[in-house]
Structure 1
Amino acid sequence: MIQIREDLDINPSQAFSNFLNSYTQAFNKKYQRKGSLFIPNINRRKIESDSYFTRCISYIHQNPSHHGFVKDFRDWKFSSWKSLISTSLTKLETHAVLDWFGGIDGFLKDHEVEYDPENEWIFGK
């Protein structure tokens, strides 16, 4: 999830595309490989409601277990999950995220609800 400032004079889709292309080129150079790293069509949606924002955060954390990378999403080492629930300093807006859920207890409780990709509105159905 990224936040784009409204006052920027750039096309957010183009800026994000440039970022992904630069990352892919650097990754490919480092690991001596060629080709794409990302699926061709990344879905972008503007978050326009509080409930959708809340659901997106939980979805992002739960997604690795949904796709079978790990059994429990809390074990995915590339997730912001552990950073958000730890007391260590990070560049994440930890307090803002936890405050959104009403504190750590609300954050943890919301993440106990598993999404159903067949009936979940976050997937565009």
Structure 2
Amino acid sequence: MFVTPAFAQAAGAAPAGGMGAGDLLIQFAPILLLVVIFWLLIFRPQQKRMKAHQAMLSSISRGDTVVTSGGLVGKVTKAVDGEDLEVEIAQGTRVKVTRGGISDVRSKSTPVNDNKAS
């Protein structure tokens, strides 16, 4: 029924100048730290992998052994146009593959492992 003295007191005064620049920086420091961590651990390595993959795709030439993203292994017989390649996956069997569908390029000197007994 009666108001207790703790509730009856007036609220404390607010700080005179509001929030300072240092206080604002301290509040945003964890967010900035997370952005830096994401950049260093996720975005930057992904960009490096993409650049290396693009360089690998642009250096494909006739005679290279390639692995498609579907797992087919074959030898490049010719570049049909800028984006497409003709790949021989078996003797007399040639398929047209886009450069974006190539996941790995093996050099001409790297033999394909046929699991044949010597």
Larger radius of gyration: 2
Q: Decide which structure has greater helix share.
A: 1
Q: Decide which structure has greater strand share.
A: 2
Tell me if both proteins adopt one fold, taking TM over 0.5 as the criterion. no
Please give the range of the TM-score, normalised by the shorter of the 2 chains: under 0.3
**TM-score normalised to structure 1 length:** 0.17
**TM-score normalised to structure 2 length:** 0.18
